[in-house]
Amino acid sequence: MVINAMEKIMKDLFSEYEHKLQMKCTCESCKEDVLAMVLNKVQPKYVTNEEKVMYIKAGYVDKQEMTTLLVKLIECAKLVSDNPYCKTGKKAEVDQSSTV
């Protein structure tokens, strides 16, 4: 079993800051789009068991590194929020453009 410790780190960071990201749509599809996008922008940290995931996570106590990850998460949340790929998001866009 190989696991990218960054998946856990990013998921936890996302849950912690989700309400502050002010995404227009927070459906499961949009949240997964944000996670996939941000995980493609950070260096993977693959390990071969769960304990090592926690070890890597503990290493992220350094404020600077966490801030860097948070900035990337905020960027990706904005990109997805501005260009929703999910049905709800698309419908809201159509409604908005038809009222203009």
Q: Nearest distance from residue 45's CB to a second copy, in Å?
A: 7
Contact 6, 49 (CB under 8 A): no
Residue number, 7 or 18, with CB nearest to a second copy: 7
Q: Nearest distance from residue 2's CB to a second copy, in Å?
A: 5
Q: Nearest distance from residue 67's CB to a second copy, in Å?
A: 21
Distance CA 4, CA 50 (A): 10
Residue number, 31 or 70, with CB nearest to a second copy: 31
Residues that bind a second copy (CB under 8 A): 1-2, 4, 7, 29, 32-33, 35-37, 39-40, 43-48
Residue type, 33: D
Distance CA 60, CA 4 (A): 14
H or E segment and range at residue 85: none
Q: Nearest distance from residue 70's CB to a second copy, in Å?
A: 18
Residue number, 51 or 95, with CB nearest to a second copy: 51
- Torsion angle of the four alpha carbons 98, 86, 11, 35, in this order, in degrees rounded to the nearest 10: -90
